[in-house]
Structure 1
């Protein structure tokens, strides 16, 4: 039997041991799903505390069911370690490490590079390596492939390398890791076949095979750039509609009635999370190598990045209409997480808004049912529980995240003035002074 046939048999019979490198919001759900599918899974992470939590069955990711994690750990299907030497024991490994932008808006691929080097150090013949981290086209070929070839492996024969972008939408009730379609692109046809087999044996969603890792890397960035640009268009429409005295939310609802050629995107206080505000700039950076300037992406970034300042400016104007200055006014900020029903504050537009409000001298009370505290400008900011007193005492209630478990009826009945950046109050009683973005 060839290495490929042996590995395919192991994957299909569930005899394969699968490794997941990086146990964050992508890696942990993937590790749990692979364990639930019947594989023995070894999770790798550089954070000792995270490894300890997994081995104790303590969940720290919103999209993972705590009972699923506990069951997989207790049954021995899932263990975690900081020791890369255990790569020797795995037949297939998925790399799910961060790929942030540095202070110059350039991709930091150091986590991918160190993971590939560590795996290559302990790799054996007949192993599958799949990169899942979002990155620029060329990463799999330029960064993941070389350390394996340097160690004598032949890609497509003795080692199989592919790219399959993570698709995670935190807080999405309908689409989770298990039922979201997967794109797979291997360096060779054999690499694609083996990687696709692994995902087909784990996930319920369709597996879409493409001809190369670069296609899969580019399609992932295209997905997020599509959202990035269309959200910028919605934000620009909101700015113009406000000046024209038109309700942008009603405009979008009307446009949604068209059954073709339109997809609804909504304005908001800015972009957040680790994907939409960041991923398009991998492409902007890579495009320079080809003497191309991605004007549309950069313009969309300017529009989206300006939204927090627009929110603060309009908050000032709303208070001004009541004869109040922002300095000294009590402002209740509802929502710190970057999107509804999650606890993630990374790149949240609420953070620059809160920072600007504090610098302007506003007296803030911050509420978020999913967040207990967060770091901002070097300080720990406390989050309190929303109640009627908080609302009654506020000169302005600023809705930045439309969490489902906010009591919007209570908010509407007890607030003096509301600035709603998410159209969260659309189905509830509103105070006399109610302003939408």
Structure 2
């Protein structure tokens, strides 16, 4: 049975979109070149940690969702959405290789009047300067005339039960006004509100601004955390007071590092240098530098606490609590826990961990011992470090049981533990 929609890329971006489309009654096919993803989804399991559970996948399958590795399926839909991953490369620019592969696969099957949408995180200019030429070359069709093309930045907050797909506004920017309206007609079936940008570049830059806003403000409170500790000020109480201001302030909280899939993007280093001035965003670069330093600062605090209690890091038993990047999810993408564990191991510490969502955890390809009994492990460890606050953790009880507790999330009651 022909589908109305093809979601290309069944990872952290594509699966939630496919889930929303199936829930809206849209016949959806999911295309991915990874045979493992196809096998897992076909069997009713999720191929990636975080966005969906196995029960979510089974409901999608029963609702008509069809995973496939067959490119021919891409030529039978009215709308195709590219949700390919764009990981950071060694030079901290986004790798568009998977987007290019998706575009070439789609172009070979692209039919007139199809609406093509890009949701991957990309630098501004990608839709027009990178995606459009690939689609036109591979299909022989003309964008904006023979097929519609638009960009829509993904806005996902995994685990957020308040802001879900249906009530989160969708920004869209089309190659032409007709492209924008075609994209709006599709997304209005999935979400309550569609916001029209002036064009693809404005929509792409919206994603850059939103992501960098988060990183810059986290960097600010991370710097404040170091300063406040040095001068004996309770930053967590400062934030509690500051967030009562009804205007001009939005609370952010420090932590051991910044994880997740939203990498900061500096559009000063675009691959389209002839079309851009090439001036870097200095604040974004500085924010990244500050956030990258936080795991080392956590190590410094660990060493200081152990030393103050007559112990050395070498030989110390250290228990890490919560190794995911976000509370109450299994996703470990860019979590600072691995770097912290690695640095502690290099200093001679004996590392163990506990996380209710991660049953097997490896550092440098070596398994890290998992604590079966949380309280027993905390009481026997020389230092317990809370890296992620999962709701199942009884922090009051942990503070009583642990010999020494460092809370990097400010989640423990005041005075119950050493806070970041």
- SS at 1:94 equivalent: strand
Distance 1:98 1:374 in 2: 23
Deviates more, 1:265-274 or 1:377-386: 377-386
Show the counterpart of 2:344. 357
Aligned residues: 414
The question of 1:379 aligning with 2:362 is answered no
Aligned runs of 1:252-401 on 2, under 5 Å? 252-275=239-262, 278-281=263-266, 283-286=267-270, 289-401=276-388
Match of 1:83 among 30, 45, 70: 70
How far, CA to CA, are the matches of 1:192 and 1:82 in structure 2?
29
Q: CA RMSD for the aligned pairs? A: 1.7
* TM-score, with structure 1 as normaliser: 0.91
3-state SS of 2:368 partner:
strand
* Other-structure match for 2:209: 222
Q: For 1:61-108, what per-residue CA distance to the aligned partner results, in whole angstroms no more than 9, with x for missing partners?
A: 544354443233134x21001111211111101111110111122221
2:165 equivalent to 1:180? no
Q: 2:197 aligns with which of 210, 213, 216?
A: 210
Residue range with higher mean Cα deviation, 347-356 or 143-152 = 143-152
Q: Does 1:420 align with 2:403?
A: no
The 1:103/1:415 distance shift into structure 2, 3 A limit, reads same
TM-superposed CA distance for 1:259, in Å, is 0.3
For the 8 Å contact 1:84–1:118, the answer to whether it is kept is yes
What are the ranges of 5 or more consecutive residues in structure 2 without an aligned counterpart? Answer: none
User: In 2, are the aligned partners of 1:284 and 1:297 still within 8 Å (CA)?
Assistant: no
Deviation at 1:424, TM superposition (A): 1.5
In the alignment, the residues of structure 1 paired with residue 278 and residue 113 of structure 2 have an alpha-carbon distance, to the nearest angstrom, of 39
Q: Following the alignment from structure 2 to structure 1, what is the Cα–Cα distance between the partners of residues 268 and 326?
A: 25
Q: Which moved more, 1:119-128 or 1:341-350?
A: 341-350
Pair 1:201 & 2:189 matched = yes
Structure 1 CA distance for aligned equivalents of residues 169 and 291 of structure 2: 28
Equivalent residue for 1:71, pick from 39, 52, 59: 59
The unaligned stretches of length 5 or more in structure 1 are 1-14
1: distance between equivalents of 2:211 and 2:3? 33
Taking structure 1 as reference, are residues 423 and 161 closer, same or farther at Cα in structure 2, changes over 3 Å only?
same
- Is the Cα contact below 8 Å between 1:371 and 1:383 reproduced in 2? no
Query: How many angstroms apart in 2 are the aligned matches of 1:65 and 1:324?
Result: 43
Separation in structure 2 between the aligned mates of residue 264 and residue 338 of structure 1, nearest angstrom: 19
